[in-house]
A and B are shown apart, each in its own frame.
Chain A
């Protein structure tokens, strides 16, 4: 090792020695940026926004150019008409599945405190459709994606993002044409969840893993309640519908843990959404939001 090092360093003695001052200056600059960004009101945010305004459209354009190629295998697998049938069936399937998934929750809501109108209202949202154009690398250890709808489309921070299957995440920040979405599997993400059958509330924490191991941990507030396996968990929702609206299916309980030392019950949730293959998503916006594209209304129509 030492011999190799000497060999590597050898020719450098003939050249100019690399400046240590420059290295120190750059490292200090990095540390300064880090400490500035760690402040609660980060002075880096305007810079983030400015860089986003430049790179957002570039990402949208690049994703648009790449999409035909990523769709090629799918196109070859079946003819056009079959492809359409398949899409229709898939849409119907996820629609039925989400109906089944929220059935318990809906019934409880109806029985407990809501009339039919209120329930219908709470389950019907206006959605701004968007496509995922950029994914953060796993090397960054955070699970975020870029979508191609921004403030021009009526999107602003702290809105819920869903797809056909269930809850995807929430909007962190927007530029004019793009938005950054924090996925619920991110290790930073906390979602208020409710077990559909028992109406028990708890908190869902992401594990920061995508793919087949992408799970969420549910911690129930009431330590006497034992969640049942295969129960559906839906969002709990908060005042004013932000950041997560109520009643969106999140996932299914796969394992339940209870230890004597811990005060709360823990359960592992398998999310309905396949985070490795995100494409078309919808951002939940208040009805009547003005947008640069067609908004999907609660009754299923377009505006």
Chain B
């Protein structure tokens, strides 16, 4: 992983995070916003594979855990996004993934990400949330992420692809 690529990836995560906490709450439904950081990690996974995406997921998750106004136990989003980056990276194929594959990957990643986060909360005995509400948050999160995919994923994937001129060396 060269320095430029790491810097660009980190910058993308920072922009995603700031948008997620300042802009999207204005459009949120019951406080549920699209998880832009997760979309960036999925974009990295589909272009660069599981290893890069898992590392980026760790960085993005840790930032999400530490940046205000987060107040949960740090490391929970990091764990969720490491899993997302790894799983989404396994989908990557040699050919460019089609729109259907990208949407399915985003939906599955969003479901896995929010679920892993919620499960880690259960293990750490963070305040219990009812199952019905949990399901509502997870499913609405999936809908949001899929809706935002056409806007976020193409530029993110194009960016990561440009930073990787020779794919066979990846």
Contacts and interface: CB of A to CB of B under 8 A. Distances in A.
A26 B77 CA distance: 12
Interface in B46-104: 49-51, 54-55, 57-58, 61-63, 65-79, 82-83, 86, 89-91, 93-94
A75 interface: no
Interface of B: 14, 17-26, 28, 30-33, 35, 49-51, 54-55, 57-58, 61-63, 65-79, 82-83, 86, 89-91, 93-94, 114, 117-118, 120-121, 124, 126-129, 133, 137, 141
Given A37-B73, A139-B117, 7 more contacts: A22-B55, A26-B57, A34-B74, A59-B18, A136-B21, A139-B114, A209-B30
Q: Tell me the interface secondary structure of chain A in the complex.
A: helix
Contacts of B32: 137-139
B71 to A, nearest CB: 5
Interface in A7-54: 8-9, 11-12, 14-15, 18-19, 22-23, 26-27, 29-34, 36-38, 44, 47-48, 51-52
B71 A8 contact: no
Chain B's interface: helix, strand, loop or mixed, by majority? Answer: helix
B67 A8 contact: no
Interface string A160-175: 0000000000001101
Nearest to A66: B23
Interface residues of A, number: 63
Contact of A22 (B54, B66, B128, B129): B54
A168 to B, nearest CB: 13
Nearest to B127: A187
Contacts of B68: 52, 55-56, 59, 134, 144, 146, 173, 175, 178, 180
B33 A138 contact: yes
Contacts of A9: 90
11 contacts: A18-B49, A18-B90, A30-B75, A52-B67, A55-B18, A136-B21, A136-B69, A137-B33, A138-B141, A141-B121, A186-B127
Nearest to B50: A18
Contacts of B21: 59, 134-137, 146
Contacts, number: 189
A269 interface: no
A43 to B, nearest CB: 10
A161 B94 CA distance: 54
Contacts of B55: 22, 26
Given A18-B90, A48-B66, A208-B127, A136 B30 contact: no
Contact of B77 (A38, A44, A140): A140
